[in-house]
Amino acid sequence: MQSLYHDEAIFSDPVFRNLNATEVRGMWKMLLTSSSDLRVEFNHVKAASGKGSCHWEAWYTFSKTKRPVHNVIDASFEFREGRIFRHYDNFDLWRWSRQALGPAGLFLGWSPFLRNKVRKTATERLDKFLGRS
């Protein structure tokens, strides 16, 4: 994953917003090294004229709650110089929160409060992983 991103890459998804190349590389390293049971499948891969997309799904145990998660993601890409320049993942954060957080996610996962809490916690975790906190 480290070599796939352009040095000026930007990544964004419903949790991690507007990460730069260093941050997105760190995010993938953090996520991939912290999971002991991650399984990923992808399909519908398309690429043409500097753009691309794919559908991918991830199954893993959310470390904080030990709850199983099946995340369904649609990704879009822009490429520059043969590497990912822009990467946008889209998934249902409420669906994710219901699985990862249980009752709190079910009842509050749609709310700006919980969404912002999830984003803040993820950003703090990434900052710590990158040695910035």
In the chain, the domains with their CATH numbers are 2-91 (3.10.450.50)
Q: What angle do CA 119, 11, 59 make, to 5 degrees?
A: 65
- Which tokens sit at 53? 């997309």
Identity of the residue numbered 51:
K
pLDDT digits (tens, 9 = 90+) for 60-110: 999 899 999 999 999 999 999 999 999 999 999 999 999 999 999 989 888
The pTM is what?
Answer: 0.91
Stretch (H or E) spanning 35: none
pLDDT digits (tens, 9 = 90+) for 45-63: 999 999 999 999 999 999 8
The mean pLDDT of the chain is 95
Q: What is the rounded CA–CA span in Å between residue 27 and residue 6?
A: 15
